[in-house]
A = this chain, B = another copy of it.
Amino acid sequence: MASEASRPAVDAMANPELACPISPVVDIVFSRWTTPILWSLNTFGRQRFVELERRIKGITPKVLTQRLRQLERDGMVVRTYHPEVPPRVEYEISELGRSLAPLFGHIAEWATTNLEHVERARRHYDDAGAPRG
């Protein structure tokens, strides 16, 4: 195996000890509400606060603000303030955020082929699969 510093990314799947190397990414990218936000910004382009609020069904302004701030801090989205009356704020995905697109594509692909397997497993488990022992 290669050294820690020069190890190719794929080798991470075989990296022993300690926590799994994808946990940090999960914290950044896959927190609640972040994927719909990134998805919306990536799909529909630059949007205002209300547009996002309306698009992302069920989110409250407080939570939307929190997540947008976090995503802005992490460099995933860019916030632009226009000092007008009424004020106008636009959010757009950054280059760093856009680099997640292929990843999201892979996840979507996994979903289309495997989500039904999960559903099936759940039904099977709920019918008779409760753990014995």
Contacts and interface: CB of A to CB of B under 8 A. Distances in A.
Interface of A: 9-10, 12-16, 18-26, 28, 30, 35-36, 39-40, 42-44, 56-57, 69, 72-76, 79, 81, 83, 87, 89, 96, 99-115, 117-118, 120-122, 124-126, 129, 131-133
A117 to B, nearest CB: 5
- Stoichiometry, copies per complex: 2
6 smallest A-B Cβ distances: which pairs? A75-B121, A20-B39, A9-B109, A81-B133, A12-B108, A30-B30
Given A9-B110, A10-B109, A12-B109, 5 more contacts: A10-B108, A12-B111, A73-B126, A75-B125, A87-B133
A2 to B, nearest CB: 12
